[in-house]
Amino acid sequence: MGKAILLLDDGRYFIGKPLGAEGETIGEVCFNTGMTGYQEILTDPSYCRQIVTMTAPHIGNYGVNPNDIESNKIQVAGFVVKESTKTPSNWQSTKSIDSYLKEQDIVGIQDVDTRAITRHIRDQGAMNAIISTIDSDLESLKKRLAKAPNMCGLDLAKEVTTPKRYVWSKGREVKYKVAAIDYGIKHNILRQLEGHGCGVTIFPAQTPASKVLEFNPDGIFLSNGPGDPAAVSYGIESVKTLLGEKPIFGICLGHQILALALRAKTFKLKFGHRGINHPVKNLKTGAVEITSQNHGFAVELDTLPKNIIPTHINLNDNTLEGICCRDVPAFSVQYHPESSPGPHDSRYLFKQFTELMDAEKN
């Protein structure tokens, strides 16, 4: 096995061994603290243009299977692990993590100190990085890395959205007609909506509000996705038009876009929230939910206008995790109630969406 190198934007570098495809990749390096769910993480469109470092030391123990994907391909720019499992053990497994990455031409690195990488990102903040298995010259790597764009100002929703409208249906009974705006939607969100009686039609991110209203749904769902929410100007303008027309439920990027449409502001977190054990307090009930999270931006709590009520707060850093509107039927959360991977504490939110649609019908 040859050599691989991970070089961070501030000059810190780590030498390890190749994982996945040979080659070179650039992205914003981040870390995820989940001990399971690596396949869902790899295929989550919210990780577009990001190099994900897994803090758990052994990745790939239970292999890869076709049931645990969150989109139709691997979405991460690169993958960093301490040690990958060559021989996975699980009855559903069809291949190893190394084979999976190679198949889809994803460059990774292993046999590096992921604890040191994580501590560095946590202390210095998120930054761009490059992984290379073909060039170990730091100066030439630095030159290519310097040309990479910063995540701030990047509209990545248009890179991961569906190119055309489609229907998600597994033949279940449909009670609600839902239009989902795809900024990078995960399959398990669609499964949860379907499980709550929703027939879901997915629309491209740049669909005008008029086309969505022409479809005449019972409710509108704003999906998760990657990049800077403030850069998704077309999404913000569309939601401004949709507000008050139909009940709206947003998750992750959809939450941020809803907040921006309501004239709040967003900001970039120092190193983001990515894991499956983040405590969030429900301000209405007082209950603490253990949540699955994946975001690098957040909504500024102090910028909420008077018609927005904060509903959830992150207990690690007191950032805003949920809102609802006083004057229109709309609410959203920053975290991932579909929990794939993660705990199921917050799945009640899908029922809350159906109740909102019921209220508007009656």
187 is catalytic: no
336 is catalytic: yes
196 is catalytic: no
Identify the active-site residue in 120, 295, 312, 336.
336
Identify the active-site residue in 30, 48, 252, 324.
252
The residue to which tokens 């991961």 are assigned = 160
Q: Identify residue 237 by its one-letter amino acid code.
A: E
Residues annotated as catalytic are 252, 336, 338
